[in-house]
Structure 1
Amino acid sequence: MANRGVTIADVANKANVSKSTVSQYLNNRFEYMSEETRIRIQNVISELDYQPNIVARSLKMKSTSTIGVIVANILHAYSTQVIRAIENVCNGNNISTIICNSDDNPKKEKEYIETLLSKQVDGLIILPTNGNYKLYQRLVKQEYPIVFLDRLVEGISTDVVLLDNEKASTIAVEHFVEQGYKDIAIVTTSIIDNITPRIERINGYKNALKKNDLIVNPDYIVAMELDSLDRGLDKVFSLDKKPDAIISGNDLTLMEILKYASKQDLKVGEDFGLITIDEVSFSSFHSPTLTTIAQPTLEMGTEAAEILLSKIINKKPEKSPKLHRHEPLLIIRESTKEKKHFRDI
C-alpha cells in the first residue's frame, strides 16, 4: 500500500539531490542529470512508493489546452468514429487532442497514461483495459478530470459513456426470432479480461433467448481471440445441429465470420442469418447487404468530450458520477431475410 505521507522532499533527501532535480525527473526532463542520478531517483521513488499528486503538480502550471484519448484498439470502427467526434468538440473549444492506442494491453495503457500526465494534459478520455485499477483510482481520488468510454471498471467512480449493450443483443435475438430463426449463435472476442461490451452482449443474448423460450446452448457461444475464431467457427459448424443465425459481437469478429464463410462456401442469408453489432462502412453494399445494430458513436464521443471539458473548466468533480447509456439502433438489410429455402449444410 502506498505511503501517502511521502513527499518530494523525502525523495530528494534520500536520493541526495535537490527537490528541483526530482521535479525534473518526474517531468521526464533528463537532459541535465546523469544516468546514475536518474537511476538513483527512480530507485528511491520505488523504495518509498512515492506517488506524485497529479493535481498539485498541474496547479503549478497553466493549462496546456490539450487532452489525451486512449483507445483500446484503433482498428475498431467504433474507436475511429468516437475519436472523430471527440476531436470535433475539442477543436471547437481550442483544445488539442493526443490519441494513443493501447492494443488492450494494460502495460501499454499505463505507459501512455503516465506519458500524457507528464505532458500535463488537462484531462483524459480512456477506453480502459481494466488492468490499471490502482492508477485509475489514484486519478479519481486526486480529482483529476477523467471520463471512461465504452467500458466500466468496477469500483472506479467516474463518468462512463457506453452503449446499452444488453439491449443491443436483445434486439438482435428478437429480430431473428421474428424472422423464423431459432438456433442462434453469438461470436465475439475473448471475455477473459471481462471487457464490458462483450460480457453485457452475451448476457443480453442469453436473457433474450430465455425470454423467447429458446434454449441457451453453450456450444453456440464463441468468445475467443481473433486469431482463433476460425477454429471456434469450425467447431460450431461441425455440430449435429448447426446454428441458423449468428450475432457478431463487433466489427472485427464480423470480418472473421465473413472470411470463414467465404472459405467454407457458406452463403450469408442462405446458410445462416447474420447480424453484427457495429455499423460498418460496407454493410449497405456487401452482397447480401448486412443487418446491423448501430451505435450512436458520434453522440457518444461528443458527450464524452463535453463531460470532460466541463470537468476541466469547472475544476470540480461531479458529486455523483453518472453512467450514460446510449440506445442501439437496428438497421434491417438482406442478411436477416425471413428464414426459408435455406440450403442444407
Structure 2
Amino acid sequence: MKRITMTDVAKQAGVSKSTVSQYLNGRFEYMSKETRTKLEQAVKELNYQPNMVARSLKQKSSTTIGVIVANILHVYSTQVIRAIEDLCHEKDFHLIVCNADDQPEKEKKYIEMLKAKQVDGIIAFPTGGNVALYQQLTEEGYPIVFMDRIVEGLKVDTILLDNKKAAALAADELMHKGYKHITMVGPPFTHQVTPRVERAQEFIKKVQEEDNHMLKLSTINGEIREIKEKLQELFQQKERPDAIFAMNDLTLHEVLSFLKKEKLQIPSDVAVISVDEVSFAAFYTPPLTTISQPAFEMGRRAAEILFTLILEPNKQHRSKIIRFEPALNRRESC
C-alpha cells in the first residue's frame, strides 16, 4: 500500500503543506477552527501516521527520553517510572524504560542503545560501573539525571531519599519500643548503591550510640535468594532476635515469607519495620509499620529537571543533590 504523506493530507484538506506541518506540531495560534476541523478529518480519513524518524531529524529531537532502572521489581522504581511517564504525557514526549538488573554491562548496552535511538535525555539509577561513559556524556552536554544513587566525581543532578534519616527513624522506633535484639536485614552493602550503604551505616551508628548494655545488634546481608537461609541460621541460635529492620521492599518480602513459614507471630515473637511503603502494608495482618519515600514526587522532580536541561540547553545550570524526606507510618508490626 502507498504510504500516506503530508502532501496527501494537504490535498485532502485543501490547505498548504506548511499548514499541515503547523497542525501536526500543535501550532494553532493563527489557524482557524474551520481549518483545524478539516485537517483533523483529513488525517482521520486517510489514517495518516507521521514519519517520526523524519520529524526527529528535522527538529533535532526524538521527543523521547530513556529511563534505566537498577531493578524494576522494586515498588520505588515502578512509582518513579509512573511519575516520569505522567510528565512525559503532559509534555507530549515518549518514554523508553530499561531494566539493568544492577549489571554494569547491561546498563552500558542500554546507554548505547538509547543514544543510538537519539533520545533527548536519560534518567538513570546508575550501577556505578560506567563512570567513564557517563562522564563522556556530561562532557558532551547530554541531559542526564540520576535517581537514588550518587556517583562520586560526576556533576549530575541526583534525586534520592534522606536515607540516614530513614534509618534513624527505624532505629529510634525499635529502641523506643524496648526491643533488645535487633537484626538489620538487607542486600549486599556495596559502595555503589548509596541507599544500602547510608541506611546500614546510620542504623548501626544509632543503635551503637544507645547507652544500653542490654541492647544487641546483628546484621544479615546478601542476595535476595540467600536471605531466608541466613534468617534460618540466625533464628536457630539461642538468642533469637525480637525485632527486624528490613532495608527495602524486596527484603521485607523475604522476611515475611520466612516468618510465615516458621509460624512466628508479628509482633509478639518478632517485630518488623521496613523502608518502602508496600501496597499491602495497611491491610497485612498485622498492618506493617513502614518508612515511606515520596517516590512519585521524586520521579516528577527528576523529570522536571531533565526537561529543563532538554528544553533550555543554553540556560546556566549547576548540578545538585536533592534529598527528599522519609515518613514513618506507625502501624501494628512493632
In the superposition, the TM-score normalised over structure 2's length comes to 0.80
Asked if 1 retains the 8 angstrom alpha-carbon contact of 2:149 and 2:192, the reply is no
CA positional deviation for 1:213: 2.4
The CA deviation string for residues 144-171 of structure 1, in whole angstroms up to 9 with x for no partner, is 1000001111111110000000110100
Q: 1:230 to 1:63 in 2, by over 3 A?
A: same
Q: Which amino acid aligns with 1:173?
A: A
Write the distance in 2 (CA, Å) between the matches of 1:294 and 1:164.
11
Tell me which structure has the larger Cα radius of gyration.
Answer: 2
- Map of 2:112 onto structure 1: 114
In 1: Cα distance, 2:215 partner to 2:186 partner:
15
1:214 Cα offset (Å): 4.8
Match for residue 128 of structure 1?
A: 126
For residue 91 of structure 2, what is the aligned residue in structure 1? 93
- SS at 2:333 equivalent: helix
Deviation for aligned residue 1:193: 5.3
Q: Contact 1:169 / 1:201 at 8 angstroms: preserved in 2?
A: yes
Q: CA deviation at 1:232?
A: 1.6
Aligned to 1:212: 210
The equivalences for 1:1-345 within 5 A come to: 62-192=60-190, 194-214=192-212, 220-316=218-314, 319-336=317-334
Secondary structure of 1:74 counterpart = coil
Shift of 1:185: 1.2
C-alpha RMSD of matched pairs (Å):
2.0
The 1:318–1:69 alpha-carbon spacing in structure 2 relative to 1, beyond 3 Å, is: farther
Distance 1:207 1:281, change over 3 A: same
Whether the 8 Å CA contact 1:206–1:216 is kept in 2: the answer is no
Quick one: structure 1 residues 254 and 281, their matched pair in 2 at CA, closer, same or farther if it must change by over 3 Å? same
Check conservation: 1:219, 1:236, Cα contact below 8 A: no
Deviation at 1:316, TM superposition (A): 4.0
**TM-score normalised per structure 1:** 0.77
The alignment of Structure 1 onto Structure 2 pairs a total of residues equal to 279
Match of 1:35 in 2: none
Amino acid at match of 2:186: T
**Which is further off, 260-269 or 191-200?**
191-200
What CA deviation, in whole Å up to 9, does each residue of 1:217-246 have, x standing for no partner?
997111100011112212322333222111
Cα distance change of structure 1 residues 200 and 318 upon mapping to structure 2, 3 Å threshold: farther
CA contact 1:209–1:215 (8 Å) conserved in 2: no
Q: What stretches of structure 2 of length at least 5 have no aligned partner?
A: 1-55
Q: 1:195 to 1:318 in 2, by over 3 A?
A: farther
Q: Amino acid of the residue matched to residue 187 of structure 1?
A: V
CA pair 238-194 structure 1, distance change in 2 beyond 3 A: farther
Whether contact under 8 Å (2:207, 2:217) holds in the other structure is no
Change (3 A) 1:316 1:274: farther
Q: Is the 8 A contact 1:70 1:100 kept in 2?
A: yes
The one-letter code of the counterpart of 1:295 is Q
